[in-house]
């Protein structure tokens, strides 16, 4: 039933409400921390409740099939802008991931942030609202608005609390993002006008725009603009170079959110808007996506192999892992697309955890150079166990989460393009090589520099433990997740190839 | 019927969790080791019960699927957590849990006092769990889970002494080479799945379902391709040419690991996989030929390297590679039952040999340690004359050596001879048969030679160990000797359950129980197997006896040469190496294959990684971006405050966007 209880609105705006509550306690850091965490936790609980109740409300429906929660209110009627939110089986996992990762990001930076603490949490909460909005918006204007809301705080996070060349990295992030957003805005307006000319009804609503008949030339340009905007976020080779810098110089919480959530918005945009709006154009671009996806996987992994800085290594590994998502989307078959969605969540959890782990080392020792460590297995066994676990997940060990996603993507892609799948597998082998190198150099061999490295604290243990359990559950019993995704994926791909 | 089989993998998993989570707190070695061994013993008991139940069933009721829950389901793709219980998996279960249990017991003694004792047992249990998944999985993907799981445990256990760089490197090498093989496994899986699905509408990866439709597979073509893919996977896991070089390096791990993983169980997974999918392989004559050739070549090639190694474990490692070659030779000539039979007997005698060598190394290590000597405890040149110091170890080792050398009456003889005969007489490879048999026979001679060389250098002659250490050499405790005795016993008698037909007939019509038991597994290859039996029966008995005689003579010649060189006139080997320095150096250095791989693959990969990063990513792609960035930076410097300057720009751009909307709206 549309508009009932406005659950989605509440989901989106709980964090923003938390921001307002931060204002009165701005200088009382302990209070600010707790309020921020409370707001994030509340959002997580609500998201979990929605997941638990999903089967019961599944027939709720809006004007698009597959959506079980739907809110639609008029907003700026003069321009046909509406406030439309909707949730289906693809948005729900993303929302869960967002709520989950936000809590994690707050906990990992609990002690690391010493200056302007409240502002830090303020920005994270703003970002959560933005990301939630991106995953739930079904009106393109609203989507664009949330897209901007989510990006600006990240710029500040990197610029204020970052390390190293933080200004350079923040600016680079900003430039790429700006270029992408502007292109997307132009494309949105273009689509809006074309649709308006055709039907006489000017609207930004996705359900209506899906029926637009667009001349193939125009649709190619519009799709290209969307693709570039989303590709920057994913990131797809060769517009990925903002990512290693942004990741390396961002504070831990920033890296975690960046990797786990912001990258997903690009892929999500392609799945939700890019492909459905311009199916013909997307088909034309598919070979290019295959090529870029494969290059991303192999190239990202290979460059990761050459890194000396742990954080940069994990950052490049993101380029590789997201390449799988790109391939899964390019194939656009149920198996591959399910794999891509699963891989989005997997990458969020696994890479998020790896960034958190690297952040913990950085916090203790003040360095992220691989060559500085060694023999951690003897000194900090619990930490080392988690490091090994998430590394194994990242390299796609069966029984852990990433394997399921990668396998489905490969299986699905193999059906339509065996060559692409073969090349992607080369990336899998290289991934193994650089992850093993990381594990060996950091955990094993002898101690190289005497660093003060305490094992993990209780708070860190909770964070890593919860993420570890998630990694294992998603690997051993992904069936509920795949069930959730199966219907929207079937609707999007419209039957055809299995 | 077999509803409780899920207990078999569950026990080691529990052991892994207990020792992994609480082992550090438990501290007491006996408790940790006890739990580890007990859990595998429990599995062994359930596996034995399963086997007996299986034997009591008539032949056609011996294949069962036991499903626990749906694991991955997406579109038409479905993979369950489900087990396949049939005679083949029963045999494997007995080997894995039986030999595995003995090695767990042995490890309690061998690993005594090692740092991270609990970690060792946790890994060992995790390995057993993964191996059981591998052999019990009823579909390709679950098999793959076990396949990768054992690879992980192998990696962790090879690198058990993690402070040693060489150990870590060896583990990494093993894992990476296995991954290359996995590439093949997954490609095979995908090809098979999509081919059957799109062509015949049969969307399955379950073994029994796939076998049921055996008649749908075309001969050659796509089946050749996908079986070759699977075989690539097998070469990685089972250390065959070209992916064998990781196994000798894997000897960096503790010796029980070498016995369990790198001799008795994990490395045989490739053989098992081909046996499991025999219905596919028989449809691909070219693949069968490749398998046979690779197997025979590996058997011979690895045996040559084994003749010149001085590290006791390395000799055994190359021996393992060579023996695995025999198993693949068997698979390649369609003698599936014989291959699996050799897998089993090899598990007995090779585990015994490894554990025996471990006992020697253990004793050497303590003696050298006592004398503060830095001699290598694994180098046979430092040993000699140990038979009086370690009589039980010597006796069991000798029995296992006789078994592997192929002396009639011992386990290795029956299985190896069956393979050689089938290689010669099978109807599939025409004139190639003689070459296959020749490789196998020469390798058998080399095997006898290097194994007795090992025995002579280690246990006979003068004791060459540092004199200060001599008195500290002693027999190992019972917990180590007991598994040796059991395995030596099995090495002697294990062969009698699968005697070749002609010997059985000579002894009064004793059937080949083993082949008979496995028959239901190969039922879809019935025609193929029948033609095999027909062809081998077609040859005269004289020929079969004759070839058997030849292989026995070859083995005896190998032993004699070893005797002459290492007992009768020990100065000869040095003269020999002096006469052919280049040959000796090449063999001693393993034909420089590692160096070749480094040159061809490893170094270029490293260089490319560095180039892509520093040459391409930073210079080309980033250079363009920086150029743009700098020009913007220039403007913003004019706008003073960097951060707010950007937000200002940002707001401006958004405002611009809105203006554009309105402009379009008004002037369209």
Residues paired with residue B379 on neighbouring β-strands, in sequence order: B311
- Give me the mean pLDDT over the B639-666 stretch: 49
Spatial neighbors of B432 by CB under 8 A, at least 6 apart, are B289, B292, B293
Please give the structure tokens belonging to residue A384: 């080392």
B162 and A445: CB-CB below 8 Å? Answer: yes
A411 and B605: CB-CB below 8 Å? Answer: no
Report d(CA A60, CA A54) in Å as an integer: 10
Report d(CA A62, CA A70) in Å as an integer: 5
Phi, psi for residue B65 in degrees, rounded to 5: -110, 130
Query: Residue B642: pLDDT band by 50, 70, 90 thresholds?
Result: very low
A338 and B186: CB-CB below 8 Å? Answer: no
For A241, name the nearest residue in chain B, comparing CA atoms only. B622
How distant, in Å, are the alpha carbons of A200, A289, A415, A416 from that of A411? 44, 17, 7, 9
Confirm or reject contact between B604 and chain A (CB < 8 A). no
Measured in whole angstroms, the distance separating CA A199 from the mean position of its chain's CA atoms is 35
| Burial classification of residue B166, based on how many CB atoms lie within 10 Å of its CB (0-12 exposed, 13-18 middle, 19 or more buried) | exposed
CA distance B128 to chain A (A): 15
- Give me the mean pLDDT over the B203-210 stretch: 88
Spatial neighbors of B307 by CB under 8 A, at least 6 apart, are B446, B449, B450, B453, B587
pLDDT in tens, B609-623: 777 777 676 766 666
Which among B194, B609, B614 has the least Cβ separation from residue A414? B194
A388 within 8 A of A443, measured Cβ to Cβ: yes
Inform me whether the pLDDT recorded for B657 exceeds 70: no
For A168, name the nearest residue in chain B, comparing CA atoms only. B629
pLDDT in tens, B356-414: 999 999 888 888 888 787 778 888 888 878 888 888 999 999 999 999 998 888 888 88
Inform me whether the pLDDT recorded for B668 exceeds 60: no
Predicted confidence at residue B640, as pLDDT, reads 41
What ipTM was assigned to the predicted interfaces of this complex?
A: 0.87
| Burial classification of residue B476, based on how many CB atoms lie within 10 Å of its CB (0-12 exposed, 13-18 middle, 19 or more buried) | buried
Which among A174, A404, A436 has the least Cβ separation from residue B646? A174
Chain B, window 194-213: residues with a beta carbon less than 8 angstroms from a chain A beta carbon: 194, 197-198, 203
The DSSP 8-state label assigned to residue A79 in this structure reads G
Which stretches of B164-221 are DSSP H helices? 165-200, 207-212
Digitized pLDDT (tens) for each residue of chain A, 498 residues in all? 455 678 889 999 999 999 999 888 888 888 889 999 999 999 999 999 988 887 655 555 556 778 888 888 888 888 888 898 988 889 999 999 999 999 999 998 888 888 888 899 999 999 999 999 999 999 999 999 999 888 888 888 888 888 888 888 888 888 888 888 888 888 898 898 888 888 888 889 888 888 888 888 888 999 999 999 999 988 888 888 888 888 888 999 999 999 999 999 999 999 999 899 998 888 899 999 999 999 999 888 888 888 888 999 999 999 999 999 999 999 998 899 999 999 999 999 999 999 999 999 888 888 888 888 888 888 888 898 999 999 999 998 998 999 999 999 999 998 888 899 989 988 888 888 889 889 888 888 777 777 777 788 899 999 999 999 999 999 999 988 998 888 888 888 875 555
Residues of A in contact with B612 (CB under 8 A): 299, 302-303, 306
Helix (H) or strand (E) holding B585: helix B581-588
Confirm or reject contact between B163 and chain A (CB < 8 A). yes
Q: Which residue has the higher pLDDT, B599 or B436?
A: B436
Q: Does the bond joining A238 to the residue before it have cis omega, within 30 degrees of 0?
A: yes
CA distance B491 to chain A (A): 35
Inform me whether the pLDDT recorded for B607 exceeds 80: no
A302 and B612: CB-CB below 8 Å? Answer: yes
How distant, in Å, are the alpha carbons of B300, B346, B658 from that of B499? 25, 15, 87
Query: Residue B652: pLDDT band by 50, 70, 90 thresholds?
Result: low
Query: How would you label B530-553 residue by residue, b for 16+ Cβ within 10 Å and e otherwise?
Result: ebbeeebeeeeeeebeebbeebbe
Measured in whole angstroms, the distance separating CA A165 from the mean position of its chain's CA atoms is 24
Please tell me the pTM assigned to this model.
0.89
For A175, name the nearest residue in chain B, comparing CA atoms only. B629
Predicted confidence at residue A402, as pLDDT, reads 93
Triad B71, B77, B78: Cα angle to 5°: 30
Report d(CA A391, CA A358) in Å as an integer: 12
Confirm or reject contact between B187 and chain A (CB < 8 A). yes
* Nearest alpha carbon to residue B324 among B435, B389, B419, B424: B419
Select from A399, A443, A495 the residue whose CB has the most chain B CBs within 10 Å, as the one to mutate to test that interface: A399
Half-sphere exposure of A207 (CA within 13 A, CB side): 15
Inform me whether the pLDDT recorded for B563 exceeds 90: no
For B625, name the nearest residue in chain A, comparing CA atoms only. A172
SS3 of chain A: helix, strand, coil, percent, to 5: 75, 5, 20
B74 and A482: CB-CB below 8 Å? Answer: yes
A327 within 8 A of A293, measured Cβ to Cβ: yes
Confirm or reject contact between B17 and chain A (CB < 8 A). no
Through-space distance between the first and last CA atoms of chain A, rounded to whole angstroms: 32
For B616, name the nearest residue in chain A, comparing CA atoms only. A303
* Nearest alpha carbon to residue A84 among A139, A150, A152: A139
Please give the structure tokens belonging to residue A379: 């000194």
Select from B19, B75, B143, B662 the residue whose CB has the most chain A CBs within 10 Å, as the one to mutate to test that interface: B75
* Nearest alpha carbon to residue B287 among B245, B327, B332: B332
CA distance B331 to chain A (A): 27
Query: Residue B643: pLDDT band by 50, 70, 90 thresholds?
Result: very low
Confirm or reject contact between B643 and chain A (CB < 8 A). yes
Q: Which residue has the higher pLDDT, B645 or B620?
A: B620
A483 and B73: CB-CB below 8 Å? Answer: yes
Predicted confidence at residue A132, as pLDDT, reads 95
**3-state DSSP assignment of residue A55:** coil
Measured in whole angstroms, the distance separating CA A177 from the mean position of its chain's CA atoms is 15
Inform me whether the pLDDT recorded for B660 exceeds 60: no
């Amino acid at each position: 039933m549309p508009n009932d209880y406005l659950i989605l609105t509440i989901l989106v705006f709980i964090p923003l409400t938390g921001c307002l509550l931060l204002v009165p306690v701005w200088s009382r850091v302990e209070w600010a921390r707790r309020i921020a965490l409370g707001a994030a936790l509340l959002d997580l609980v609500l998201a979990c409740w929605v997941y638990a109740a999903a089967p019961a409300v599944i027939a709720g429906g809006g004007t698009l099939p597959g959506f079980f929660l739907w809110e639609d209110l008029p907003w700026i009627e003069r321009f046909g802008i509406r406030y439309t939110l909707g949730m289906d089986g693809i948005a729900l996992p993303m929302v869960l991931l967002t709520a989950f990762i936000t809590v994690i990001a707050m906990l990992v930076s609990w002690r690391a942030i010493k200056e302007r603490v409240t502002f830090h949490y303020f920005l994270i909460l703003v970002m959560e609202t933005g990301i939630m909005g991106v995953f739930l918006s079904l009106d393109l204007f609203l989507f664009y608005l949330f897209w901007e809301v989510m990006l600006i705080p990240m710029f500040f996070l990197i610029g204020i609390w970052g390390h190293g060349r933080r200004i350079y990295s923040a600016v680079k992030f900003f430039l790429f993002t700006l270029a992408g957003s502007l292109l997307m805005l132009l494309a949105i307006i273009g689509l809006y006008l074309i649709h308006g000319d055709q039907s006489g009804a000017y609207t930004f609503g996705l359900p209506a725009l899906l029926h637009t008949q667009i001349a193939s030339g125009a649709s190619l340009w519009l799709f290209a603009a969307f693709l570039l905007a989303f590709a920057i976020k994913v990131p797809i080779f060769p517009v990925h170079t903002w990512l290693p810098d942004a990741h390396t110089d961002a504070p831990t919480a920033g890296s975690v959110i960046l990797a786990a959530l912001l990258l997903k918005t690009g892929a999500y945009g392609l799945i939700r808007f890019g492909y459905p709006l311009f199916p013909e154009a997307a088909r034309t671009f598919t070979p290019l996506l295959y090529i870029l996806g494969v290059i991303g996987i192999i190239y990202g992994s290979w460059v990761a192999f050459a890194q000396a800085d742990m954080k940069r290594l994990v950052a490049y590994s993101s380029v590789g892992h997201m390449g799988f998502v790109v391939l899964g989307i390019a194939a656009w078959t149920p198996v591959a697309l399910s794999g891509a969605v699963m891989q989005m969540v997997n990458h969020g959890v696994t890479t998020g955890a790896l960034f958190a782990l690297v952040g913990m080392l950085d916090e203790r020792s003040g360095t992220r150079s691989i060559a500085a460590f060694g023999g951690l297995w003897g000194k900090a066994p619990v930490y080392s166990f988690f490091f090994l676990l998430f590394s194994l997940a990242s390299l796609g060990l069966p029984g852990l989460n990433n394997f399921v996603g990668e396998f489905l993507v490969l299986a699905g892609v193999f059906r339509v393009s065996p060559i692409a799948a073969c090349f992607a597998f080369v990336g899998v082998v290289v991934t193994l090589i650089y992850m093993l190198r990381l594990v060996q150099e950091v955990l094993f061999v002898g101690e190289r520099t005497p660093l003060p490295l305490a094992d993990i604290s209780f708070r860190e243990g909770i964070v890593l433990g919860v993420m570890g359990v998630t990694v294992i559950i998603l690997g051993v019993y992904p069936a509920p997740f795949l069930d959730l995704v199966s219907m929207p994926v079937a609707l999007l791909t419209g039957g055809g190839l299995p | 019927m077999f509803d409780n089989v899920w207990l078999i993998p569950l026990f080691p998993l529990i052991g892994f969790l207990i020792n992994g989570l609480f082992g550090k707190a438990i501290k007491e070695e006996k408790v940790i080791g006890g739990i580890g061994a007990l859990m595998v013993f429990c599995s062994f008991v359930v596996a034995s019960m399963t086997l007996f139940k299986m034997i009591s069933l008539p032949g056609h009721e011996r294949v069962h699927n036991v499903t626990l829950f749906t694991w991955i389901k997406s579109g038409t793709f479905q993979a369950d957590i489900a087990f396949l219980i049939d005679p083949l998996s029963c045999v494997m279960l007995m080997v894995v849990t039986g030999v595995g249990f003995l090695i767990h017991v042995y490890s309690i003694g061998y690993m005594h006092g090692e740092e991270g004792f609990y970690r060792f047992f946790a890994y060992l249990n995790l390995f057993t769990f993964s191996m059981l998944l591998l052999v019990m999985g009823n579909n390709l993907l679950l098999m793959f889970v076990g396949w990768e799981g054992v690879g992980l445990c192998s990696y962790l256990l090879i690198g058990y002494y993690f402070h040693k760089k060489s150990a870590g490197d060896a583990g990494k090498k093993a894992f990476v080479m296995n991954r290359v093989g996995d590439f093949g496994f997954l490609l095979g899986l995908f090809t098979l799945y999509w081919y059957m699905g799109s062509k015949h509408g049969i969307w399955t990866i379950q073994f029994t379902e796939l076998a049921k439709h055996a008649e749908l597979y075309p001969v050659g073509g796509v089946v050749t391709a996908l079986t070759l893919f699977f075989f690539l996977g097998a070469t990685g896991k089972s250390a065959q040419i070209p992916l064998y070089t990781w196994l000798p390096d894997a000897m960096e791990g503790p010796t029980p690991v070498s016995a369990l993983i790198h001799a008795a169980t994990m490395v045989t997974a490739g053989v098992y996989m081909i046996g499991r999918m025999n219905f596919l392989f028989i449809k691909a004559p070219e693949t069968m030929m490749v398998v046979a050739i690779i197997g025979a070549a590996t058997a011979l090639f690895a045996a040559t390297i084994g003749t010149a190694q001085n590290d006791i474990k390395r000799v055994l490692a190359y021996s393992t590679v060579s023996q695995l070659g025999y198993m693949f030779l068997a698979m390649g000539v369609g003698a599936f039952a014989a291959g699996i039979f050799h897998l089993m007997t090899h598990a007995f005698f090779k585990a015994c040999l490894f554990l025996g060598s471990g006992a020697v190394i253990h004793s050497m290590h303590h003696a050298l340690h006592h004398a503060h000597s830095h001699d290598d405890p694994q180098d046979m040149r430092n040993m000699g004359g140990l038979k009086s110091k370690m009589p039980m170890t010597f006796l069991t080792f000798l029995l296992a050596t006789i078994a592997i050398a192929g002396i009639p009456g011992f386990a290795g003889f029956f299985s190896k001879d069956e393979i050689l005969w089938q290689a010669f007489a099978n109807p599939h490879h025409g004139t190639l048969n003689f070459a296959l048999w020749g490789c196998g026979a020469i390798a058998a001679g080399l095997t006898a030679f290097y194994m007795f060389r090992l025995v002579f250098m280690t246990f006979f002659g003068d004791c060459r160990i540092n004199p200060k250490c001599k008195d500290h050499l002693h027999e190992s405790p019972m917990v180590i000797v007991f598994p040796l005795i059991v395995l030596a016993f099995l090495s002697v008698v294990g062969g009698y359950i699968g005697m070749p037909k002609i010997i059985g007939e000579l002894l009064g019509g004793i059937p080949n129980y083993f082949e008979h038991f496995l028959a239901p597994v190969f039922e879809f290859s019935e025609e193929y197997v029948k033609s095999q039996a027909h062809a081998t029966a077609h040859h005269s008995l004289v020929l079969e006896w004759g070839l058997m005689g030849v292989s026995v003579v070859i083995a005896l010649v190998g032993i004699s040469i070893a005797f002459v060189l290492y007992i009768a006139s020990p100065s000869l080997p040095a003269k020999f190496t002096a006469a052919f320095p280049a040959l000796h150096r090449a063999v001693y250095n393993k034909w420089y294959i590692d160096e070749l791989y480094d040159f061809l693959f490893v170094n270029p990969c490293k260089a490319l990684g560095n180039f892509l990063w520093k040459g391409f990513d930073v210079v080309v792609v980033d250079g363009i971006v920086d150029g743009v960035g700098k020009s913007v930076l220039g403007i913003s410097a004019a706008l003073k405050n960097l951060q707010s300057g950007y937000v200002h720009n940002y707001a401006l751009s958004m405002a611009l966007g809105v203006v554009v909307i309105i402009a379009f709206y008004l002037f369209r």
